[in-house]
Amino acid sequence: MFCSKCGASNDNDAKVCTSCHLTFDAKGFQGEKTKEQVKAAMDDAWATFKALGLDPVGGLLNAYEGLGKVRSLGVGVAFGLAFALCFILSVYQTPYFKFLPNMSGIGGFIKLFIVGFVPFVALTAACIAGEKIGHGKGGIPSNGFIAGVALLPLGIVFLIASIVGVANIEVIGTIAIVGMCMTILTLFAGLTRIGGVTEKVASISVPLMLIVSVWISKVILVSIFS
């Protein structure tokens, strides 16, 4: 933890700054600790993104083991947030966006953010269910990590769509096919290599997980925009 007054580094459980002797109150301590945790998660997410860039499927297990359970969950959540932001960017570039009800201002942004983050939550829940069915050995951290990494390719698709525009539908469609294939492969590798599920069970679980995730996302989407 860094002192807010002099910037000196202190232990996370320190009560007084070792340099300027500033007393850390509980509220300030928690706020500083939260900022450090967020920064650490962002750093881990960026390092994992670079590590998986050339080998997203084969490097999945090594990335998870290198992070550990707690940090891997933080990375998964960070990737889920990144997916949501890419989704929002693509929606803002849609010509008919302005005709959607109650989508202006901060309220509209919050609605879109909820819709964009739902796939991460739904896919994490689906991964947990698939792992339970296959008597896997993972848990919430591992499945959150798998879901976050699996959504990255689709997030990139949304980002590219926001850049090239809907007029280039052929380009977007081609990239979307590649992105979906990478998502499926990542889910399969995650269940088998991290979750300990057999390939037979994973082959059945992955399609069902995607269907359930899409259905849950659709239900929430309709409830928000109805």
- For the stretch 150-167, pLDDT in tens is 999 999 999 998 888 777
Looking up tokens 């232990």 gives 11
Q: Do 145 and 75 contact (CB within 8 A), yes or no? A: yes
- Rounded CA-CA distance 191/135 in Å is 11
Partners of 9 in the β-ladder: 2
- For the stretch 112-153, pLDDT in tens is 888 889 999 999 998 998 888 888 887 889 999 999 999 999
Which pTM does this prediction carry? Answer: 0.79
User: Any alpha helices (H) in the chain, and if so which ranges?
Assistant: 26-52, 60-92, 105-133, 140-164, 169-189, 199-225
Residue 189 has pLDDT above 70, yes or no: yes
Residue 8 has pLDDT above 60, yes or no: yes
Residue 64 has pLDDT above 90, yes or no: yes
User: What pLDDT is recorded for position 10?
Assistant: 72
Looking up tokens 């590219």 gives 160
Q: Any idea what DSSP says for residue 104?
A: S
What is the rounded average pLDDT for all residues in the chain?
A: 83
Q: Do 10 and 3 contact (CB within 8 A), yes or no? A: yes
Sign, CA torsion 153/155/157/159:
negative
- Rounded CA-CA distance 8/10 in Å is 6
User: What pLDDT is recorded for position 32?
Assistant: 63
- Rounded CA-CA distance 75/189 in Å is 17
Half-sphere exposure (Cβ direction) of 148: Cα atoms closer than 13 Å: 28
User: What pLDDT is recorded for position 37?
Assistant: 76
Domain ranges of the chain: 1-38, 53-225
